[in-house]
Structure formats: C-alpha cells, structure tokens
Structure 1
Amino acid sequence: MFEEADETISLAMMQELLLELQDYCESGRDFSILEMVESRTVLSNPRELLTDLVRHHYSMLKERQPDLSVEDYGSLFPDHAPWSGKLAGLSGSSMESSWDKERTEAASVPLSGSEEGITEFACGPLENLPPQMQSALYERMHRIKFKAGDFVIREGTHGDCLLVCVEGAATVSISSDETTPIELGSIFPGHVFGEMSLMGTPLRTASVVADSDMTVLSLSSSDFHDLCQRHPEFSNVMTMIVADRLGRRSHDALSTVTLEGYKINRRLGRGGMAVVYDAIQLETNRRVALKMMSHRLAIDSNARNWFTREAEIIANFHHPGIPILYERFDAFATSFIAMEFLEGCSLSDVSRIVGPLDEESVLRILAQLADALSYAHQEQIVHRDIKPSNCMLAPSGSVKLMDFGLSLPIFRGDDDRPIAAGTPAYISPEQMRGQNCPAADWFSLGLVGFELTTGKKAFRPKNMLQLSRQYFDWKPDQLLDSLASQSSDLCKVLKMMLSLDVDARGRAVDHLSDYRKPVDVGQWSCFQDEINPRENS
C-alpha cells in the first residue's frame, strides 16, 4: 500500500525552529542550534536540517551586520562548525582556513554526548536515553533468569513489568487458528519487550519463549509509570518503541485486538499523521475506520492539539462530503478517533495509478470538494490541509473531504506570528503569511486540480525557505501553459483558483456548480482491481 512521508509536521517543526532562531537573533542571547534540534526528538535527517539552520542563522545575522565574516561567525558560534559547509558562498569570499579546518575535523562529531551509558542497554532503544537517565532506570530493575523453552511472557496473561534482554535469545509468537503459533520475530540482547500491556490493554498481546538460557532485566509496572511521569525523555523513548509495534511492522500488534469496545480486524494504511485500522464497534456492530495518531507525534503538543481539534470540529459536521465522527478516546499513550468507514481510494492513489485524469472527471471532483469546503467555511472552519491524499473517491463516484486535523475556526483570525500549517506542496501564500482565511483552501484545491490534470505536483518544496522563494515570483499562467486547452472550463477554473487575487478564487467556486455530479469511475478498471478500500490517515 502506498504510504506518505510526513511533510506536515516537518514543516511545522521547521517553522518553530526558524521563529526560535529569530528570537535568539533579536535578543542576542547565547544558544546552540544543536540543542534546539535535539529538543525536538520527532525530527528526522538532523544533519541536513542543522546545515540549513546554520546557513539561515548566518544569513539573518549578516542582514544585521553586513561585515560579518564566516570567521567571525565561527568565533561567535564554535559549536556550529560541523554544519557550516555552505556558508562560504554567503560571505562573498572563500572560507578562512582555520574555520574550515575546524568544520572539517568536527564533521564526524556525534549528535549526542560521548558520556557512556549502561552496558546492558547497548544495541537497543534504551541506549538513546541520556546516561543519567539510564542509570536511574537501571537502579530500579532486577535480573531474572530463564531456561531454554521457558515462557518469558505468555499471550493473554496480565502484564506487570517491562523487560530488557541481557543475555540469550527468544522467539515472539502469537496464537492462530492452526496448531502452530505464528512467529513474529526474535529478541536479542538490548531488545525491550512487554511494554504494550503497560501502555494500553492489560493483557499480553504475544508470547515470548526463550530459545536458550536467558537473562532479562525487569522493571515493575509501578516503577515504569513513575519514571514516565518524572522523566519525559524516558516516556519519549517508550512511545517510539510502541510506535514500532503499532502501524509499522508486517504484523501490527493491534491486529485482532479489542480496544475500548472496538474489534480491530486489520490495518488499512499509514500516513504522516496517523495509522488507520478497519474495526467493528461491538455494541452496534458498525464498521468504522479507527484512526490512531502516530506515536512519533504523540510526544509533540502541537500534533496532539491538531488531532484533538479534528475530533472537536467534525463532531458537529453534517454534510455528505465529510465523514461522520463517532467518538474519540486515548490508549497506548496516544489518541484514537472512530470515524465512518469509507469504501474507495484516495485521489493520490487514483492519480498514481490512473495518471492524468480527463477534464470532466477533474471538474466533477473539484465541484464536490468545493461543496464540502463551502459547508466547512459556512461553519466558520478553514481546512488548511487540502491535498489528494485527504480526499476519498467512492465506487459511487462521490468524493469526501477528510482530515481536519490542521483546521482552525475563522473567528480565530490570523496567527499572532507567521506560523504556517499544511503540507508544503499544497500550502497557499496566505498560509505562508499565517493568514487564516477560506481563500487559502481554494488555492490548495487549485493545486490539487493541477495535479489530477497533469499527473504531477506543481512544485516540491522541502521546507519553509524553499516555499517562500516559490511564491516570491508566483506566475500561475506559466504553470498552466502545459494544459492541453487554454480555453477550457478547467483551465479557467484553475487560473482563478491559483490567482493571488483572493476574490478571483471565489468566482472559480461559483463556476464549478454545474459540475457537481458523481465521477464516472467505471472508466478506470484499476479502481476496482488494483486499489484496496482504505481510509486515509
């Protein structure tokens, strides 16, 4: 199944970092870019990000101090040396040898400190904890020995401890309808297991049998929860471990589990923000899409707020183009939303498999989405994350707009500071400026229409800086030159939607009213044959 990269959060995190940089520049306080990045543990590709941030920081300082050289910058911020490789071109001269030498020698410096941790935690996720935290954890644990063939953990029993393998090996398995259990994997020294019953359902979800004589470290349930409350870094690592169990592996640990009255059958898909399961609500026998917020985001307050806001917003919506929300609850150190189950496939899947769509189909899709968006706007809500993967096309030809996690009430007005939200490839100029307005959604819808028509994204910015440059000299006419017919209704609609004139975008919506009809999906054989029913995350 096609799965998306997490662009939304990376953009939001980038913006937080840039604003923090701005604060440091204005205040003149001492700081470390490395510490800024390491404090946000959900970020990926830190070295590339650090290089971009150092470059941006130097540019900001140089605007205030035109005579600032790379050598001077290196003297002021020696800790930034490992990520300064692109500064020479900004200074107008070659990089001075001493700073360049320091940068080269420091390029291999690890992102965390060199202080040693607990030997028993090496080669496992707990080695990522600060050494002091490792020591605090180790002091509360005790050793248990098992013989080959012993059950270390038995599926279906109550869990009361967290375990870390120190010596030996074991096999993880689950029961099945057949006589032989299904093997899921192996456990080796450094591996952590047993956490699922401490962070969600109290029953063990799998069995662990020792392959040889085995020694483990055990942490009691009470000590586990005490450490989670006292030490955020420990809680963060544990949520990452759970994330590896849920929604990522070939066998998802939640498959066949009953959770808060929902019997989970299988995983439908995984995106940047969430994992979605096919489930049955036992009390009503209703089939639902159970949406679980990704654990890698559960430790981020902004992501949690977005997820909760989605439930609050769509709980009061009643429109055929927007899925019904049934309830929200917390489990496994994250949040869940039970929603209407939708048969069909996302527009991103349609575009990926079918390729460029015909004009009539694109207009009908845009018209249905515009109707759903107009309803949301009438309810004083701006979506802020319109993209193909957030739109579901049903076998009936109807289209539904999903994922209101980044939405905001219109009455909130513009953000106090320019914090954009959305997915970089579909974000509007207004969102870049922190403006919360319906016109932003129409621009994003225009980008979706362009992609469905041409089979390619209008642009692929990696971060906020690239996005700003994209809109500095925005010319939608040049973008639409590739369309076959410049006089068609579709081209006229896209030109209006992608205009910098927000009033023109409103006229485009009026122009779509005649196309508010079901899409003829029968022309696409792959719709039934190649795309599985799914609910996007």
Structure 2
Amino acid sequence: MPGEPSVSRPRTRSVDELCAEFERAWQAGSAPRVESYLRDASPADHTQLLQQLLPMEWHWRIARGEPASAEEMLQRFPQHSALVQRWLAREASSGETSSISFAGEDAATTETFLMSELPTPPPPSSGASSPASGLIRQLTRCETFAGLPYDTLRAIAACLEERRFDAGECLVRQGAHGECLMLVQEGLVEIVLTEDQGRSRTINHVGPHQLLGEMSLLTQEPATATAIALAPTRVLTLAATALDELAQREPWLSIVLTHLVASRLGGPQGDVLLGKEFGGYRIVDRVACGGMSVVYEAIRSADQLRVALKMMSHRLVYDEQALQLFQREADLIEAFRHPHIVRMFRRFQAFHTYFIAMEYCDGEDLRSLLARRGALDEPQVRRILGQIAAAVSYSHRAGVVHRDIKPSNIMLATDGRVILVDFGLAKPSVDTELYARGGIVGTPRYMAPEQLAGLPVTERADYFSLGCVAYEMLTGRKVFPESNVTQIRVRHRDWIAPSLTTDFPAVSHELATMIERALQKNPADREIDLEEIAAWGS
C-alpha cells in the first residue's frame, strides 16, 4: 500500500445546532433524514444526536400520518441497534406503540413487544476517583456500551489493554479465530470480505468508538472478514478469555454485543454471510429481512438443491419468547407434508443463532403480483384461494392456527402451485401459555378483531385473514387501508362486513358469500367450509 492514505475530515457541527435545524426543517414542511445530520456530526456525538433526532422524526411522521415502523428504524441504524431498541422499548412502555404506522402490509407487527429495555447506567458519584475512570469514559462513548450499568463498565475497563497499528497493518484476518475484542480509539479501519471465488470487496469502515472482532468471539466461528488499518490506529483490546468470564458474570454485556452482531449478519448493507458455506449450505443471496428473521437463498452442498435458509435475527437470541416462536415454527412445519405448505428440510445452529432450511419457492409472492397487476379476475382468485384454503384446512386439522395469513406469505410458484409460508406466528390451537405472555402478534391489517384486541384466537381468526386476502385479490383494494394500528382498532370497533353481492354484482354468489361470511366481526358468524373452497384450486 504505497504512501499513507489521506482521510478527509468534514466540518462537524454541534448537537444543539443540528437538532435545531432538524426541527425547523420539519416545521417548514420538509421531511429531513436523520442519516444526513449524523454525517455532519462528530462520531463522538452520534449517540447523543440519535437520541434527540429519532423521537423527533418519529413523532413528526406520526403527526402527519406518514409511515413509521420499528423494523424500518432498526434497518436504517444497524450500528446503533441497541440504542434504537432501548428507545423503542420506552415508546412501548409509554403506550406509544399503538401509533406505529406502516406503509406496506407487513408493518406494525408487534416486534416492539419482544424487546427488552436495557438498564440506564447510573453515573459514578461526583467524588469518585478510579484508575479506570478514563477507560470508563471511553467505553461510554461507544454506542454499544453506552447503556451498560456502571459496575459492568468498571469490570470491562479493568480488563482492557491498549494496542497500536500502523497504516496497512492487519487487525483481524479472515478465517482466523478471534483472540480479542477491539474498541477503536483513533484511526480508521477498512473491513474487507474475500468471497470463495477470490474476489474481495469492502463492506464497511470502522472508526473511533466502534468495535471490531465481536463477530468471531460471539459466534464462535472464524472471522468472516479482514480488518485493515487505513491510518495509524489505536485500539483498546479485551481478551477472549476475559470476555468469556465477563459475559458469564455480566449478562447485559452478552446482550448488547449480540445486538451488534445483528448489524453484521443479516444487516441491510454488506451482509458478511453472502458467498459463505456452513452447515452444509452455501449462501447465494439475501432475499428477505424482517423483524424476527433473515431469509437467504442457498445451495445445499450435498446435491446442489436450491433452498431457503431462514436465520433467526441475533437481536432476538436472548429473547426467550422470540426463540420459542422460532423453534415453534420449525416444530410445526417439520411434521407437515402438504403440496401447498412450504416444506422444511432441517434445522441447525451456527454463528450463535438458529437456522431453518426450507423448500425454496421460485416465483413471486401474492403481494408483488397485486402491486403489479391490481385486481385479479375471478377464476384466478378462486384458484389461488382454493389452494391456500387446502393448506389452511390441513393446518387446522393438525390443530395449528397460522395467525399471519397475508399476501406476502402466499407464494405463487413457477410450477403453478400456490404455497403458504412463514409459520413463525402459528400456534397449536390448544396452547395459550406462550402467547398469553407475549401480547399481540401478527399483521394488524389482516388480523381478526379478536386477534388485534389480544383475545384468545381460534381457527376462525384465520378465516378472517383469508377473507381479507380474498377481498384484496378480487377488488384490488385492502379491507383496512388505514395507516396505523389505532385507526384499524377504531374500524374494528364498528365493523360491518362489506356486501360484495351489492357492491360487486358481477362476482359469483358463491365467492361473494364466502368473503362476506369470512369477514364477520363475531367469530361464531364466520361460517365457511375450507374443504369446499379447496375444491376451487384444482
């Protein structure tokens, strides 16, 4: 690497100045992005600035009736996931989650109800004087550590050592097992991923107050990328043995580091798993990223079979309820054998999380088809509805309520099959313990009134969701186009099912009656026969 690369240092502005400008922009009718203001701030101020700007943007968007979702915020700020989750937890505890709005069908799920708020670290007393006090101040400038209790920070500080690297020197080498966690104090580090084909690409840069090496230590796997100093760099190191001992004594440390891993694996940019082979599968592409999981396209090494590999988000590894939901999905679909339900091949652990290998559905989901074409003709509606009804009927006979039937969970395969996917929220109809603790789960726009109200659900909640999907296919319009959960609850309170026989006289009496019955507010009034509807799919 000839010469020492110059590192441009743009002018930085104070937190107060940036916050005032951000507020004025919203007042003037603009919709400024938090990210652009972070770029104008010193990295040392990012945590404080984000704490100020996130609530501003959130509440201005809610006031304007614009989309704002927990998932979006987490995907926009992966390096600050712990901070964002603490803030979302505070919103949930204050009752503000009922105002989370959404643009698409999948937003406003209850992801925020699965989050735990980290404790606020008490500052040391004004008279405190400790050899580690300077190191503790350095730790609190790192967003990952900023929310840790003071005693935990003091324990970490006692184990830190300083190291220096020249420009061009390697801090972490891809394929090597990690020896320590590094906190950058000065300098700039480039993260380079070398794929199996030998091609290298830069996936990230790490600067002051950011961490390195957490991937290898926390996932207990070799390093997935190489870290190279672009300028003289000074870091604080925490040896792997010390980290293990601290994590055993200080559980909050494990949790916040896990949040950081979530920004590396399955993050919205620079996913380090792409091109990697593990567990007998080679990752080809990331096809979906949601609040609870990330879905990859992969190739099974043994026979080159194309599969979908679903990875539980690292954000939720320490969330007992989320883990049970993920494992519950595997338990359910592992036993299913039906042409219109996605098939599971195996489950396994890797990278300190859990994976489910499933049938890859080559085609497009119903949501994409409706966005592209709008309303479908009745024969096509009946065919799709019939095949999904067959899948739901099979599931119900097995004693399982899906609870999240919606267009994005309905795949239209290239071989002509319609396949129901994502049993992540499904539950045995006789089991209520897990869900009684977890509150509402599902997608509000397609939920039955009793499900959105947090009441016990039966198979008839799936009838309502199926009716919502059928209505949308037939008319090109959503039953509940409202932009937030509160508005949908208001609609549910005074809900009267639409009259398709009156509003759409060209629709057959059979299909119109089925949709009208499925969309009744009272579950006892939802009298539909899934087996009869299933006959439409042949």
Q: Same fold (TM over 0.5)?
A: yes
Structure 2 letter corresponding to 1:434: L
Q: Which residue is 2:446 aligned to?
A: 426
Q: Which residue is 2:57 aligned to?
A: none
2:491 to 470, 473, 486: 470
Deviation digits for residues 449-482 of structure 1, max 9, x if unmatched? 2222333432256777655433222101269976
Deviating more after overlay: 159-168 vs 475-484: 475-484
Spell out the pairing of 1:37-116 with structure 2 (5 A cutoff). Answer: 42=85, 45=88, 49=92, 52=95, 112=120, 115=123
Deviation digits for residues 32-83 of structure 1, max 9, x if unmatched? xxxxxx9998466456545536999xxxxxxxxxxxxxxxxxxxxxxxxxxx
**What 5-or-longer segments of structure 1 have no aligned partner?**
11-37, 57-110, 518-537
Structure 1 letter corresponding to 2:389: A
Q: How high is the TM-score relative to the length of structure 2?
A: 0.72
* Closer/same/farther in 2, CA of residues 399 and 158 from structure 1, 3 Å limit: same
In structure 2, the residue corresponding to 1:444 is in which secondary structure? helix
Q: Which residue is 1:262 aligned to?
A: 281
Structure 1 letter corresponding to 2:420: L
**What 5-or-longer segments of structure 2 have no aligned partner?**
1-67, 75-80, 100-118, 125-135
Structure 1 letter corresponding to 2:212: F
Deviation digits for residues 492-537 of structure 1, max 9, x if unmatched? 22101112354653435355244213xxxxxxxxxxxxxxxxxxxx
Q: Which residue is 1:442 aligned to?
A: 463
Is 2:193 aligned against 1:174?
Answer: yes
Q: Which residue is 1:528 aligned to?
A: none
Q: 2: distance between equivalents of 1:461 and 1:365? A: 25
In structure 1, the residue corresponding to 2:498 is in which secondary structure? helix
* Closer/same/farther in 2, CA of residues 333 and 447 from structure 1, 3 Å limit: same
Is 2:168 aligned against 1:125?
Answer: no
Deviation digits for residues 94-116 of structure 1, max 9, x if unmatched? xxxxxxxxxxxxxxxxx956737
Contact 1:310/1:404 (8 A) holds in 2: yes
Spell out the pairing of 1:230-309 with structure 2 (5 A cutoff). Answer: 230-309=249-328
In structure 1, the residue corresponding to 2:227 is in which secondary structure? strand
Spell out the pairing of 1:368-383 with structure 2 (5 A cutoff). Answer: 368-383=387-402
Q: Which residue is 1:340 aligned to?
A: 359
Deviating more after overlay: 47-56 vs 264-273: 47-56
Q: 2: distance between equivalents of 1:172 and 1:347? A: 38
* Closer/same/farther in 2, CA of residues 45 and 456 from structure 1, 3 Å limit: farther
Q: 2: distance between equivalents of 1:354 and 1:55? A: 32
* Closer/same/farther in 2, CA of residues 189 and 321 from structure 1, 3 Å limit: same
* Closer/same/farther in 2, CA of residues 225 and 515 from structure 1, 3 Å limit: same
Q: 1: distance between equivalents of 2:523 and 2:183? A: 58
Spell out the pairing of 1:514-533 with structure 2 (5 A cutoff). Answer: 514-517=535-538
Q: Which residue is 1:495 aligned to?
A: 516
Structure 1 letter corresponding to 2:478: K
Contact 1:239/1:333 (8 A) holds in 2: no
Q: Which residue is 1:395 aligned to?
A: 414
1:452 to 446, 468, 473: 473
Contact 2:71/2:290 (8 A) holds in 1: no
Q: 1: distance between equivalents of 2:155 and 2:481? A: 45
Contact 1:496/1:508 (8 A) holds in 2: no
Q: Which residue is 2:210 aligned to?
A: 191
* Closer/same/farther in 2, CA of residues 468 and 486 from structure 1, 3 Å limit: same
Structure 2 letter corresponding to 1:476: A
Contact 2:218/2:257 (8 A) holds in 1: no
Q: 1: distance between equivalents of 2:96 and 2:524? A: 36
Deviating more after overlay: 171-180 vs 391-400: 171-180
Deviating more after overlay: 352-361 vs 206-215: 352-361
Q: How high is the TM-score relative to the length of structure 1?
A: 0.72
